[in-house]
Structure 1
């Protein structure tokens, strides 16, 4: 099991244990609610809701070509989750690097944050920004989105 899945699995197993206790005591609706809540927590803290992660080198290469920001993140990070949800469908336009899966990505983040693995760290045009406002990140997508539309039509 990789580190990225540890927290979601803990949520899921704990939810199953608590829900089982409720089921055994005859509280079916309570058990179902608990199971659903813990399953949702597991899902929200899993890598599943984030766009597919790339390696740091590949993300930086793609960013150099298309000008889109690179987001360094890790599962279980509330600030990364906030950024992902606030960006909505536009999050897929960014290049995402899971620092728990990519040692080079973790090194980039440590270099940008005085040795700390503080995420999300968003790199725009080679400049790192630690935990930026999601609206600011969305604004960074505007130039590349316009460039893509102009190139296509």
Structure 2
């Protein structure tokens, strides 16, 4: 499975529209080579460089298995949002206090539809998908505090 974005290259800066203090819009994401027997997809975006440990920006699950594009600033129909570390059930973009931070987008192809309540956390999601991941993919973008 492959995860990419027309908005930024892997390892390169995220566009300014993604920032929490700007438009706070998620980048467009593209999925390729999703296994045929996938029942649902899940997505996590987090920042491992946050001062108090990894900061979760976006959590989604039960994304329909035929979704190949997650459009800029949108949540796919049918997807269930989890609670991020801002306390919201939506995408919230980069807002690093200092320096350059890395933001990881991880997509998971799952062999089941998840029975997980809206507003559950990344930790809840990771427990639920354990043993059910058919494939995964990762994309990383950076964002600097001075932007």
TM-score when normalising by structure 1? 0.27
- The structure with the larger Rg is 1
Structure with greater helix percent: 1
TM-score when normalising by structure 2? 0.28
Q: Of the two structures, which has the highest relative contact order with CA contacts closer than 8 Å and spacing of 6 or more?
A: 2
